[in-house]
Chain A
Amino acid sequence: MAIETFPKGYGARKRRSQKTAFGIFRGLSLFIVLVLFAILGFIIYRGAGVIDWTFLTEAPSDGMTSGGIFPAIIGTLLLMAGSAIVAFPVGIMSGIYMNEYASKSGWAVKFIRLMTNNLSGVPSIVFGLFGMALFVKYLGFGDSILAGSLTLGLLSLPLVIRTTEEALKDIPAGIREGSLALGASKLQTIWKVVLPMGMPRIITGLILSLGRVSGETAPILFTCAAYFFPQLPSSIFDQCMALPYHLYVISTSGTDIEAQQPIAYGTALVLIIIVLVINLLAGVLRKYFENRLKLK
Chain B
Amino acid sequence: MRRIFEKAVKWLLTASGFVTSIVILLIIGFLFTEGAGLFKEKVIEEGYVLALNRENNVKELTAAQIKAIFDEDVTNWKEFGGPDMRIEPFRLEDADKLFTEEELGGQYENAGSLIASLIEAHPGMVAFVPESMIPKGANLNFIEDRSISPKEVFAGSEWFPTATPAPLFGMWPLLAGTLWVSLFAILFALPFGISIAVYMSEVASERVRGFLKPVIELLNGIPSVVYGFFGLIVIVPLLQQVFGLPVGESGLAGSIVLAIMALPTIVTVAEDAMRSCPRSLREASLALGATQWQTVYRVVIPSSMSGIASGVVLGIGRAVGETMAVLMVTGNAAAVPSSILEPLRTIPATIAAELGEAPAGGAHYQSLFLLGVILFFITFFINLCVEYISSRNKAKNS
B290 to chain A, nearest CB (A): 9
A252 and B21 within 8 A (CB): no
Let me know if B395 is at the binding interface, CB within 8 A. no
Tally of chain B residues near chain A (CB < 8 A): 85
A108 to chain B, nearest CB (A): 7
Most chain A Cβ neighbours within 10 Å, of B10, B200, B372: B372
B196 and A111 within 8 A (CB): no
Task: State which of A123, A128, A137, A186 has its C-beta within 8 Å of the C-beta of B6.
Answer: A186
Let me know if A122 is at the binding interface, CB within 8 A. yes
Let me know if B134 is at the binding interface, CB within 8 A. no
Let me know if B294 is at the binding interface, CB within 8 A. yes
Docked pose: A29 CA to B263 CA in angstroms:
11
Q: C-beta contact mask, A121-164 vs B, less than 8 Å → 1, else 0?
A: 11111101110111001100000000000000010011001000
Chain B residue with the shortest CB-CB distance to A187? B6
CB interface residues, B 331-387, toward A, < 8 Å:
348, 351-352, 355-356, 360, 368-369, 372, 375-376, 379-380, 382-384, 386-387
Q: Is the interface of A mostly helix, strand, loop or mixed?
A: helix
A130 and B21 within 8 A (CB): no
Are A278 and B229 also in contact (CB < 8 A) when A6-B291, A29-B200, A125-B323 are?
no
Let me know if A25 is at the binding interface, CB within 8 A. yes
B192 and A123 within 8 A (CB): no
Binds B, one of A49-57, A208-216, A233-241, A288-296: A208-216
Docked pose: A166 CA to B330 CA in angstroms:
38
Docked pose: A248 CA to B291 CA in angstroms:
50
Let me know if B23 is at the binding interface, CB within 8 A. yes
Binds B, one of A9-17, A59-67, A174-182, A193-201: A9-17
B229 to chain A, nearest CB (A): 5
A32 and B228 within 8 A (CB): no
A251 and B196 within 8 A (CB): no
CB interface residues, A 210-226, toward B, < 8 Å:
211-212, 214-218, 221-222
Docked pose: A247 CA to B230 CA in angstroms:
11
A217 and B19 within 8 A (CB): no
Tally of chain A residues near chain B (CB < 8 A): 89
B1 to chain A, nearest CB (A): 12
Let me know if B260 is at the binding interface, CB within 8 A. yes
A42 and B17 within 8 A (CB): no
Let me know if A203 is at the binding interface, CB within 8 A. no
A121 and B17 within 8 A (CB): no
B225 and A248 within 8 A (CB): yes
A125 and B348 within 8 A (CB): yes
Q: Hey, which chain A residues are within 8 Å of B382, CB to CB?
A: 121
What are 23 A-B residue pairs whose CB atoms fall within 8 Å in the complex?
Answer: A14-B291, A29-B200, A32-B215, A33-B215, A43-B229, A90-B19, A94-B16, A94-B19, A96-B13, A111-B21, A118-B383, A125-B352, A126-B31, A130-B31, A130-B372, A134-B30, A137-B360, A208-B221, A212-B221, A222-B355, A244-B226, A279-B218, A283-B214
Residues of chain B whose beta carbon lies under 8 Å from any beta carbon of chain A: 2, 5-6, 9-10, 12-14, 16-21, 23-24, 26-27, 30-31, 34, 191-192, 195-196, 198-200, 203-204, 212, 214-219, 221-230, 232-234, 260, 263, 289, 291-294, 296-297, 314, 317, 320-324, 328, 348, 351-352, 355-356, 360, 368-369, 372, 375-376, 379-380, 382-384, 386-387
Other A-B contacts than A94-B20, A101-B13, A244-B226, 9 sampled, CB-CB below 8 A, are A94-B16, A116-B20, A121-B379, A122-B380, A125-B323, A216-B223, A244-B324, A245-B225, A283-B214
